A and B are shown apart, each in its own frame.
Chain A
């Protein structure tokens, strides 16, 4: 649960891909998460374990089904540490500007 664990968990592209999939659809089972991925079931299980240990994934049981939820709270803790309250507004404005500019056709 330390910041080290969070950074290590986020350092791997496959694990970021799993988080992306939960961001697109939250509350998936292992089977659902494995679908369409170029990763073995074993690898997905291992990555999910590391993400769970870093508290980036929260798990809930519905009957016999284990559902995985994206838990972005540790990422906000990291942002909190280095982004001051006055910078936050400006950074968001810059981020909005960047998104708008990149969306525009040349």
Chain B
């Protein structure tokens, strides 16, 4: 099976995690590249390059949007050379002041190269997100390789 499930526990609020995923000014700090959309079901979303060139690294459609709890979207190559996969963010309360963020990336069977690429990317992105929300510190996680996450 080529699905991935990533879980991280973060001392923060669901709204802050939601904003970190959906708002470019936050995503830029820990993800470098950022996500642009109005986040309504059926809307298009774009994962744009952090160099502000407007280059679209990944795009897709918002399938489900329930702020600040759940966001589901397709994850597609902009050239549509492969079938899109699917990404789900689930934000749950775990303990007072502590949330559990689960990121599921599935339907990757048709695109093994994408599976390989995102499996290296997500852990870095989520670890850096946790750092940002808990300590305010981040680093450029793509410093040595220009891979998109």
Note whether A and B form a binding pair.
Answer: yes
Q: How many A-B residue pairs have CB under 8 A?
A: 61
Measured in the bound complex, the distance between the Cα atoms of B145 and A92 in whole Å is 10
A73 touches B126 (CB 8 A): yes
Majority DSSP secondary structure for residues of B touching A: mixed
CB contact between A71 and one of B6, B128, B145 (< 8 Å): that residue: B6
Contact of A58 among B2, B6, B144, B145 (CB under 8 A): B6
By the criterion CB–CB under 8 Å, are A25 and B1 in contact?
Answer: yes
In the assembly, what is the distance between CA of A104 and CA of B124, in Å? 30
**Which residue of A has the minimal Cβ distance to B135?**
A80
B7 cross-chain contacts in A, Cβ below 8 A: 55, 58, 71, 73
The residue that A73 contacts in the complex, of B2, B6, B139, B143, with Cβ under 8 A, is B6
Take A55-B9, A76-B124, A77-B127 as given contacts and tell me if A26 and B104 are in contact as well, using a CB distance cutoff of 8 Å.
no
> Number of A residues whose C-beta is below 8 Å from B?
24
- The proximity string for A residues 40-66 relative to B, scoring 1 for CB distances below 8 Å and 0 otherwise, is 000000000000000100101000000
- Asked if A1 contacts B9 (CB within 8 A), the reply is yes
Which are the 5 A-B pairs with shortest beta-carbon distances? Answer: A76-B127, A89-B144, A69-B5, A27-B1, A85-B139
List 29 interface pairs A-B (beta carbons < 8 Å), by A numbering.
A25-B1, A26-B2, A26-B4, A28-B1, A58-B6, A60-B5, A60-B104, A69-B3, A69-B4, A69-B5, A71-B5, A71-B6, A72-B6, A73-B6, A73-B7, A73-B123, A73-B126, A73-B127, A76-B123, A76-B124, A76-B126, A77-B127, A79-B127, A80-B127, A80-B131, A85-B139, A92-B144, A92-B145, A93-B144
